[in-house]
A and B are shown apart, each in its own frame.
Chain A
Amino acid sequence: NAGVTQTPKFQVLKTGQSMTLQCAQDMNHEYMSWYRQDPGMGLRLIHYSVGAGITDQGEVPNGYNVSRSTTEDFPLRLLSAAPSQTSVYFCASSYSAGFSYEQYFGPGTRLTVT
């Protein structure tokens, strides 16, 4: 199993550009989520999904869109990049939502917006 994969590993965007961060998992997990990691702030939840066709907002959803058309894939779209979106983005999946289930994290995408 590859686990959770993310592409690209690094990306530089100009303000106003759009892009999609890819996330895929091969563990047949129902629950997937996107976090951003910023210095001194830990990880903050952007969006999450409890299954194909179902998504919901997390703590910091503004400026990001998601969709979940298959169990395996959960892309994150930046509609119009802003410097405040410079961060490291992590995708995670788990068998089920929250509680005692372990979340498996991808290696991250480091995004810089100039």
Chain B
Amino acid sequence: GNSVTQMEGPVTLSEEAFLTINCTYTATGYPSLFWYVQYPGEGLQLLLKATKADDKGSNKGFEATYRKETTSFHLEKGSVQVSDSAVYFCALSDDTDKLIFGTGTRLQVFP
């Protein structure tokens, strides 16, 4: 079945460091891919998305490129801030109309 695999956390970085959170997926067909972010005590919010191969989603300095050849959708940011500390979820939506999430990666950014 369809699934999403994320790197385990926590990821601990100093402010202004470069961030990569790996995400790979298994799916039949051509899913849409998403990154959601969950700040402490809150629900999930959509961070960015890509709906077809080679699309790049971007928002708030974060980017991810839909790579069909490697079935990946890695999240990157060039310079993280303390306010980026949160849990990040990679997810896919396939032709069954359901959203399938990875296990989440906690990011901790220290000043």
Contacts and interface: CB of A to CB of B under 8 A. Distances in A.
Contacts of A100: 32, 49, 51, 93
B43 to A, nearest CB: 4
Nearest to B103: A42
A97 to B, nearest CB: 4
B9 to A, nearest CB: 10
B97 A97 contact: yes
A99 B93 contact: yes
A101 B96 CA distance: 13
B103 A99 contact: no
Contacts of B45: 105
Contact of B99 (A4, A50, A98, A107): A98
A45 B42 CA distance: 18
Interface string A24-50: 000000010101000011111100101
Given A42-B102, A45-B98, A105 B93 contact: no
Nearest to A35: B101
A87 interface: no
Contacts of B101: 35, 42-44
Interface of A: 4, 31, 33, 35, 40-45, 48, 50, 58, 90, 92, 97-103, 105-108
Interface of B: 4, 32, 34, 36, 41-46, 49, 51, 89, 93-99, 101-104
26 contacts: A33-B99, A42-B104, A43-B44, A43-B89, A43-B101, A50-B97, A58-B98, A90-B43, A90-B44, A98-B94, A98-B97, A98-B98, A99-B93, A99-B95, A99-B97, A100-B32, A100-B49, A100-B93, A101-B93, A102-B34, A102-B49, A103-B44, A103-B46, A107-B42, A108-B42, A108-B43
